[in-house]
Amino acid sequence: QKEVEQDPGPLSVPEGAIVSLNCTYSNSAFQYFMWYRQYSRKGPELLMYTYSSGNKEDGRFTAQVDKSSKYISLFIRDSQPSDSATYLCATGAGNQFYFGTGTSLTVIP
């Protein structure tokens, strides 16, 4: 079983839609959760991080963690064409990070 599972998509939504991106993880010892955005031919860029269960909001982005079900989500409100990218979830333990395979998102104007 992989440490982190993520639906690869692709996901295509109209501009202004609410986007929901999801991951599951296997190890209840994971405590720190991150979302990265990766534009084509660029490195992953840290978007959000959180320690705790519940929601963390930053502008149009909300990260949600449910440790009881080992489920993490990223919600994007009022999606924009500039949000078109691949989104990777990540967590870690010890000396390593574990990444999902990424979900490709296209926001259509």
In the list 19, 21, 23, 34, the residue contacting another protein (rule: CB under 8 A) is 34
> Toward another protein, which CB reaches closer, 49 or 61?
49
Judged by CB under 8 A, the stretch of 13-21, 63-71, 73-81, 91-99 that binds another protein is 91-99
In the list 19, 23, 30, 74, the residue contacting another protein (rule: CB under 8 A) is 30
Q: Does 10 bind another protein (CB under 8 A)?
A: no
Instruction: Give the span between the Cα atoms of 22 and 8, in whole angstroms.
Output: 10
Output the six-digit token pair for 109.
Answer: 């104007």
In the list 15, 46, 52, 71, the residue contacting another protein (rule: CB under 8 A) is 46
For residue 9, the one-letter residue type is G
Three-state DSSP state, 19: strand
Q: Are 11 and 59 in contact (CB under 8 A)?
A: no
Closest CA to 71 of 24, 6, 30, 33: 24
Footprint of another protein (CB under 8 A):
8, 29-32, 34, 36, 41-46, 49, 88, 90-102
